[in-house]
């Protein structure tokens, strides 16, 4: 049993990591409305969410949900088999949640843990059945066991049904409630809030209070059963009293201290959802290790059936407090939590701009159908009504206000309050009726429904946002499938490899997490550089010139470096270095694309008289984009040639490409020096070096044609070499165009 004591320690160690990766994913549920609306400084939001988590952890009922919910029947499994299931579940859960955190997609910790238990239990049950006939008692009757007898498959199907239902209901209700709220308050809501804000706030916070009672306090271990029964039997009276009290209090706070009622709603809602998350989802992370610990105590050195796990087991308070503290620390310091948060905010933000997801065929079709339907209704509904509706959804005033801010909110407080209120009500109702529900799915889909109602999914962004939503939803179902499959395989491996297999899997999991953290850190650093560049304020011609100078010299140097390294890697057939250059070319392409996508914002910030400045700014970015295209189209076929193990270049081509790369290096160095010094008298020298390179290209093209005619080279070689020559030509031509455009930009600005 000493080995199994070690297994219990491993389970608790894994629980700590599971808490970290779990909170990183679930933080999106209770932070996004507050962060997206910028209801308060980020630190204030984090403090309120942290208090909610701590309260929720203390109020947690501490029940061993994984055993009690009946995903499998523990009374039919031996202690050693139960430990295999729990170890497989924890290892899989860490890897799965960390993967979703790394790619920045929110998923459900509840669904993942349930299907991991299901997969691992099926694997162990399969082994039990395969190793020989086993008899079990079902309703007092002894029978030969089959895999289905060990598993409560109906529970899994109920959860899948709950997922589908929650996705549709949450989106629809969010859409309808936000539409009604916007009709009542409009985007210019300052005046209506003065008259109806207290009533709206009273209703919203009363709903959130009910949510706290149903999802939080009712499960508190320190509350006696009479108090819990009173809350359950008198929920309507409590809700009405809460509505009246909050309405009066909010109105007084607004009159006496001019406190923004909407901010109070959002902050209270953030606290409530954080509290519910900790109080209910905490068992997803520590439930399995606690079940393993209880199984160890029940076994007491013997390999016995685990009948005791079917009973309710209360969690010691110190476990809950420690878990709560780990969750709070993760909330503050996890970079991956921000990545997941950014995905939902990007999909629900009010303004247009760069979209994370590409368009899909289904999204395009859906948008076309929506446009057709909208056109039909516009012909049926009387024009006066349409005009009134448009007036309520007119965003001009709020757009003017946000344009004055360097970092405006992604949506307003009306939508943030609706997000939290609707999510709270839906989760409360589902809990009271004991319906399976994922808080992640509900909060995400409510946010998507409210953003659609608010017109955030306009014709310029709808296809990308819809694709993003379906990508996230697809990830949810992949969670269930992946969790089941991986846990099944891990359980089989542990059953075969025993202790050595557990140690090996834990080490591999640790290595995988460390590598993913490093990769995520690199991505964050690269993104931080781009954000810093984008945050440079461009409000006048001088600032635009300075930014363009930096961009031109940067792309010239980067393109030259990639070109030289790619040619050298092709000659050496160094696939690893070539892959690095290929990735750099993609990043350069994405960077120039992002700059062009931000054109609207930059030009909009330029002073009114700077129309000509905007023209030159656009011209410079256009040529930079073409340079990035050239280098990308050049490196990709080189990488594919080496990746596919095609023949190496003959020495004559090696010599030609080396001469070209040296020429490109001299050419770009001179161009960079000229732009940095602002000495455009060197432009003639740049033109001369460009002419030399063009002549070389023409000569080498003719020589390659001769080699083709003489059958000295094959088809793959010819396609690659001619492609390199063609893109080299495009590269130097666009490089000179960039320099000339920057020269014109500087000269125009200095003449003003």
Give how far Cα 526 sits from Cα of 549, 588, 593, Å. 20, 11, 15
State whether the Cα torsion 657-660-666-667 is positive or negative: negative
Q: Are 212 and 343 in the same domain?
A: yes
Q: Are 559 and 633 in the same domain?
A: yes
Q: Are 499 and 556 in the same domain?
A: no
Q: Are 69 and 179 in the same domain?
A: yes
Entry pTM: 0.75
Q: Are 475 and 607 in the same domain?
A: no
Q: Are 122 and 183 in the same domain?
A: yes
Q: Is 529 domain-assigned?
A: no
Q: What's residue 489's pLDDT?
A: 93
**Of 500, 524, 548, which residue constitutes the final position of a domain?**
524
Instruction: Label residue 501 exposed, middle or buried (CB < 10 Å: 0-12, 13-18, 19+).
Output: middle
Q: Are 155 and 216 in the same domain?
A: yes
**Of 504, 524, 544, which residue constitutes the final position of a domain?**
524
Residue 147: count of CB within 10 angstroms of its CB: 17
Q: What's residue 217's pLDDT?
A: 56
Q: What total of structural domains would you count in the chain?
A: 2
Q: Is 579 domain-assigned?
A: yes
Q: Are 643 and 666 in the same domain?
A: yes
Q: Are 516 and 545 in the same domain?
A: no
Q: Are 424 and 510 in the same domain?
A: yes
Q: What's residue 709's pLDDT?
A: 87
Domain that holds residue 268: 2-524
Contact 25, 18 (CB under 8 A): no
Q: What is the mean pLDDT of each run of 10 residues along the chain (752 residues)?
A: 77 80 73 84 88 78 48 78 87 84 74 84 84 59 62 71 79 88 83 82 84 62 67 80 89 85 88 76 74 78 70 68 84 72 67 67 77 72 78 75 72 87 79 68 85 77 79 80 90 88 86 76 64 53 71 85 90 89 87 75 60 73 87 90 88 90 88 82 85 91 89 87 91 88 76 60
**Of 524, 555, 575, which residue constitutes the final position of a domain?**
524
Q: What's residue 616's pLDDT?
A: 74
Residues with Cβ < 8 Å from 604, sequence gap 6 or more? 403
Q: What's residue 110's pLDDT?
A: 76
Q: Is 671 domain-assigned?
A: yes
Residue 16 DSSP SS3: helix
Q: Which of 46, 113, 63, 30 is nearest to 427 (CA)?
A: 30
How many residues comprise the chain?
A: 752
**Can you spell out the DSSP letters for 656-725?**
HHHHHHHHHHHHHHHHHHHHHHT-GGGHHHHHHHHHHHHHHHHHHHHHHHHHHHTT-S-HHHHHHHHHHH
Specify the CATH number for the domain of residue 747: 1.20.58.220
Q: Are 576 and 466 in the same domain?
A: no
Q: Is 531 domain-assigned?
A: no
Q: Are 495 and 553 in the same domain?
A: no
Instruction: Label residue 195 exposed, middle or buried (CB < 10 Å: 0-12, 13-18, 19+).
Output: exposed
């Amino acid at each position: 049993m000493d080995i199994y004591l070690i297994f219990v320690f491993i389970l608790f160690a894994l629980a700590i990591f599971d808490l970290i990766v779990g909170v990183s994913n679930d933080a999106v549920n209770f932070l996004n409305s507050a962060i997206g609306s910028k209801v308060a400084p980020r630190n204030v939001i984090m403090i309120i969410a942290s208090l909610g988590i701590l309260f929720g952890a203390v109020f947690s009922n501490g029940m061993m949900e994984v055993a009690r919910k009946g995903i499998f029947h523990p009374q039919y499994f031996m202690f050693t088999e139960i430990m295999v299931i729990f170890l497989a579940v924890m290892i899989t859960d860490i890897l799965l949640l960390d993967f979703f955190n790394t790619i920045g997609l929110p998923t459900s910790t509840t669904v993942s843990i349930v299907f991991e238990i299901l997969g691992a239990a099926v694997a162990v049950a399969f082994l039990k059945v395969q190793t020989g006939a086993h008899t079990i008692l079902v309703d007092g009757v002894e029978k030969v066991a089959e895999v289905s007898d060990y598993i409560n498959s109906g529970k899994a199907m109920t959860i899948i049904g709950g997922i589908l239902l929650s996705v549709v209901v949450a989106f629809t209700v969010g859409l309808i409630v936000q539409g009604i709220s916007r009709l009542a308050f409009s985007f210019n809501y300052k005046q209506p809030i003065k008259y109806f804000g207290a009533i709206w706030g009273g209703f919203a916070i009363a709903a959130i209070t009910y949510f706290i009672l149903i999802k939080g306090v009712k499960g508190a271990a320190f509350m006696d059963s009479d108090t819990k029964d009173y809350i359950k039997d008198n929920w309507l009276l409590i809700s009405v009293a809460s509505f009246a009290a909050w309405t009066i209090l909010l109105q007084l706070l607004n009159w006496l201290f001019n406190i923004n009622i909407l901010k109070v709603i959002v902050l209270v809602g953030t606290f409530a959802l954080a509290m519910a998350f900790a109080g209910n989802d905490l068992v997803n992370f520590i439930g399995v290790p606690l079940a393993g610990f209880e199984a160890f105590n029940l076994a007491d050195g013997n390999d016995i059936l685990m009948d005791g796990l079917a009973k309710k087991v209360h969690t010691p308070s110190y476990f809950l407090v420690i878990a709560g503290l780990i969750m709070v620390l993760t909330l503050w310091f996890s970079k991956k939590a921000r990545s997941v948060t950014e995905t939902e905010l990007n999909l629900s933000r009010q303004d247009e701009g760069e979209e994370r997801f590409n368009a899909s065929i289904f999204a395009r079709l859906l948008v076309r159908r929506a446009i057709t339907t909208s056109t039909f209704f516009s012909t049926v509904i009387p024009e006066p009504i349409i005009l009134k509706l448009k007036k309520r959804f007119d965003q001009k005033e709020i757009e003017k206000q946000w344009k004055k801010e360097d970092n405006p909110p992604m949506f307003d407080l009306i939508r943030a309050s609706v997000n939290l209120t609707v999510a709270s009500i839906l989760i409360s109702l589902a809990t009271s009726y004991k319906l399976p529900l994922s808080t992640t799915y509900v909060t995400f889909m409510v946010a998507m429904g409210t953003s659609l109602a608010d017109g955030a999914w306009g014709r310029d962004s709808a296809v990308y946002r819809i694709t993003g939503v379906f990508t996230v939803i697809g990830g949810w179902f992949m969670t269930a499938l992946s969790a089941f499959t991986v846990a099944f395989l891990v359980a089989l491996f542990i059953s075969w490899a025993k202790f050595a297999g557990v140690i090996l899997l834990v080490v591999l999991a640790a290595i995988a997490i460390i590598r993913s953290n490093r990769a995520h850190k690199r991505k964050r650093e690269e993104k931080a550089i781009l954000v810093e560049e984008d945050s440079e304020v461009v409000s006048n011609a001088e600032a635009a010139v300075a930014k363009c100078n930096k961009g031109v010299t940067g792309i010239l140097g980067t393109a030259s470096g990639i070109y030289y390294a790619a040619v050298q890697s092709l000659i050496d057939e160094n696939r690893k270095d070539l892959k690095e250059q290929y990735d750099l070319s993609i990043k350069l392409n994405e960077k120039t694309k992002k700059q062009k996508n931000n054109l609207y914002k930059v030009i909009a910030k330029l002073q009114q008289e700077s129309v000509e400045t905007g023209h030159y700014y656009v011209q410079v970015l256009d040529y930079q984009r073409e340079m990035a295209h050239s280098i990308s189209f050049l490196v990709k076929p080189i990488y594919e040639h080496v990746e596919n193990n095609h023949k190496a270049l003959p020495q004559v081509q090696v010599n030609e490409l080396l001469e070209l790369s040296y020429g490109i290096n001299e050419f770009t160095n001179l161009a960079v020096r000229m732009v940095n010094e602002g000495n455009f008298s060197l432009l003639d020298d740049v033109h001369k070096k460009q002419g030399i390179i063009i002549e070389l290209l023409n000569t080498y093209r003719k020589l390659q044609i001769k080699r083709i005619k003489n059958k000295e080279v094959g088809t793959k070689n010819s396609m690659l070499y001619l492609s390199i020559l063609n893109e080299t030509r495009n590269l130097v031509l666009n490089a000179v165009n960039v320099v000339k455009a920057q020269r014109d930009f500087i000269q125009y600005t200095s003449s003003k």
